[in-house]
Amino acid sequence: MDNLNFILPEIFISLSIMFLLLLGVYKKNSSNIVHNLAVGSLLITGILIFNNPLDQNISLFNDGYVVDNLSSFMKILTILGGAFVLSISTRYLKIFKIFLIEYPVLILSSILGMMVMISSNDLMVFYIGLELQSLALYVLASFNRDQLKSSESGLKYFVLSALSSGLLLYGCSLVYGFSGSTNFNVIGDAMNSSHYGLTFGIVFILVGLAFKISAVPFHMWAPDVYEGSPTAVTLFFAIVPKVAALTVFIRFLYIPFVNMIDQWQPILIFLSIASMIFGAIAAIGQNNLKRLIAYSSIGHMGYALAGLSTGSNEGIQSSIVYMSIYLVMNLAFFSCLLMLKRNDAYYETIDDLSGLSKNHPILSLSLLAILFSLAGIPPLAGFFAKFYIFKAVIEQSMYFLAIVGLLSTVIAAFYYLKIIKVIYFDKEKESYDTDHNIWLKGSLTFSTLLILLYFIFPSKLVEIVSRINII
């Protein structure tokens, strides 16, 4: 029974999914109720996570499942991201006539899979969580069946994700074959000497995980899926699954394979450099905002991987801080995107922002702060996120990685500044609707204030994350 107390959040969210599905099936016109109950169940799940004891590592189910500071913090991020996505997407779903009971149920199912991934300490437990997350995401990508682009994005994501899952599973089987166990701790104990078979296993696993966070050269799905999916789903894709995937990166590399850092560190450095450079350059020619943010997210994942590649606690902590701030910045950006509505039609190109400041000064000011933050301009939150990464990288004398990161930041600033120029200096267009729901306005206000005011207490988040010690 003690074990069950530690996994109460997972049990509660599982029961919530089943209850909401039954409620939606047996009660007509229950979309609103199911949607609101889904948000409520996420908040209760978050409270249950807070009730778990902090500052101690709890191993459950024959060491296959871990509850510690890392898992608790990342689960809170995942749940907050999911709750905000559900809260601000109501109007959008209703306009496109996809406000169905399946949407919140799929979001909850995906989040449950991510929670299992985050706490997994065993290859089989991890894979179960990964597939639960992925199956829900396949359906969400093609949720708007009446739009050809949505169906196309779902199919592309399914085919490429299935391929990456196969590679990852092959890597897991190699690791199991050469170590004799699927448990991370046992694998770690068997890693006293490097082995070619295990090195191949690590490579295949890293390929599968790199796909999940859309790191170069496994990024090919991201722009099309981001553009084709409903905007509410794109927001979910942009922030929540990447938190879970980054946690798995940390657990894989620093528990079973920490003694093989010489084998996996060059791979991670390559993924980081390639993602930062490609994300900065490829976004320059984009006009669709969702495609642009897809390439932007590829670059941001490069910075997060730079922190992980350092092989130090400070590097891991800087990546976690980076993901926390990245989540807030993306939430703010997509809140702005969901406000670009006129006559029940949503607009999502850079040209649609032309002269926005003339008719919508507050929205324009929010976008200004968000884009400056994404570019890493001080004293906004995005600057501190990059500062912690570069600090950790330089402390490990990885100067080339730091220089590439700084150069790609300068290049990426171009397309963020280009959007600001369009907003403030181009000819104004017809004004957009202002009758947004309170959750959307609240989400934008909350996230923008966090971005603007983070510099007042920059050490608070670092202090919380500093409790997470992996090595």
Task: State pLDDT tens for residues 245-284.
Answer: 899 989 888 888 888 888 888 989 999 999 999 988 988 8
Residue 324 lies in a domain: yes
Query: Quick one: what percent of the chain has pLDDT higher than 70?
Result: 97
State the Rg of the chain over Cα.
Answer: 21
Structure tokens at 380: 């906004």
| Banded pLDDT at 193 (limits 50, 70, 90) | low
Nearest to 387 by CA among 471, 298, 307: 307
Rounded CA-CA distance 34/21 in Å is: 8
DSSP state of 193: S
Are 330 and 303 in contact, with CB atoms under 8 Å apart? no
Output 450-459 pairs: Cβ under 8 A, ≥24 positions apart: 450/328, 450/381, 451/328, 451/329, 451/332, 451/369, 451/370, 451/373, 451/380, 451/381, 451/382, 452/369, 452/380, 454/325, 454/380, 454/381, 454/384, 455/378, 455/379, 455/380, 455/381, 455/384, 458/384
- If one counts the domains in the chain, the total is 1
Q: 364-393 pLDDT, tens per residue?
A: 898 999 999 998 888 888 899 999 999 999
Averaged confidence pLDDT in the chain: 87
DSSP 254-298: HTTSGGGHHHHHHHHHHHHHHHHHHHHHHGGG--BHHHHHHHHHH
Structure tokens at 51: 């009730």
Q: 5-19 pLDDT, tens per residue?
A: 788 888 999 999 999
Lowest mean pLDDT among 156-165, 195-204, 266-275: 195-204
| Banded pLDDT at 194 (limits 50, 70, 90) | low
Task: Give the Å distances, CA to CA, from 145 to 155, 228, 229.
Answer: 12, 11, 10
Output 447-453 pairs: Cβ under 8 A, ≥24 positions apart: 447/328, 447/329, 447/331, 447/332, 447/335, 447/370, 448/332, 448/366, 448/369, 448/370, 450/328, 450/381, 451/328, 451/329, 451/332, 451/369, 451/370, 451/373, 451/380, 451/381, 451/382, 452/369, 452/380
Position 166 pLDDT exceeds 80: yes
Structure tokens at 430: 């017809």
Q: 85-130 pLDDT, tens per residue?
A: 998 888 888 888 888 888 899 999 999 999 999 988 889 999 999 9
The whole-number average pLDDT for the span 352-363 is 84
Nearest to 68 by CA among 11, 113, 12, 6: 6
Task: Tell me the longest C-alpha to C-alpha distance in the chain.
Answer: 66
Residues whose CB falls within 8 Å of the CB of residue 136, separated by 6 or more in sequence, listed in order: 106, 107, 109, 110, 113
Nearest to 452 by CA among 325, 353, 335: 325
The whole-number average pLDDT for the span 396-419 is 89
Residue 55 lies in a domain: yes
For residue 401, the one-letter residue type is: L
Domain span holding position 117: 2-465
Q: 217-244 pLDDT, tens per residue?
A: 888 888 888 888 888 888 888 888 889 9
Q: Which helix (H) or strand (E) holds 438?
A: helix 438-453
At 91 the pLDDT is: 85
The whole-number average pLDDT for the span 401-407 is 91
Lowest mean pLDDT among 32-46, 52-66, 431-445: 52-66
At 112 the pLDDT is: 93
Rounded CA-CA distance 63/56 in Å is: 14
| Banded pLDDT at 344 (limits 50, 70, 90) | confident
Q: 30-52 pLDDT, tens per residue?
A: 888 988 899 999 999 988 888 77
Lowest mean pLDDT among 42-56, 282-296, 365-379, 446-460: 42-56
Rounded CA-CA distance 40/33 in Å is: 10
Residue 316 lies in a domain: yes
Rounded CA-CA distance 455/457 in Å is: 6
Residue 233 lies in a domain: yes
| Residue tagged 């907050």 (tokens) | 80
For residue 53, whether the previous peptide bond is cis, meaning omega lies within 30 degrees of 0, is: no
Position 55 pLDDT exceeds 70: no
Residue 258 lies in a domain: yes
Q: Where are the beta strands (DSSP E) in 192-267?
A: none
Residue 401 lies in a domain: yes
At 68 the pLDDT is: 85
Residue 471 lies in a domain: no
Position 408 pLDDT exceeds 60: yes
Q: What is the chain's length?
A: 471
| Banded pLDDT at 71 (limits 50, 70, 90) | confident
Q: Which residues pair with 461 in a beta bridge?
A: none
| Banded pLDDT at 322 (limits 50, 70, 90) | very high
Position 207 pLDDT exceeds 80: yes
Position 65 pLDDT exceeds 90: no
| Banded pLDDT at 58 (limits 50, 70, 90) | confident
Rounded CA-CA distance 295/273 in Å is: 14
At 145 the pLDDT is: 81
Rounded CA-CA distance 220/298 in Å is: 10
Rounded CA-CA distance 370/333 in Å is: 6
Residue 367 lies in a domain: yes
| Residue tagged 């050469």 (tokens) | 178
At 53 the pLDDT is: 61
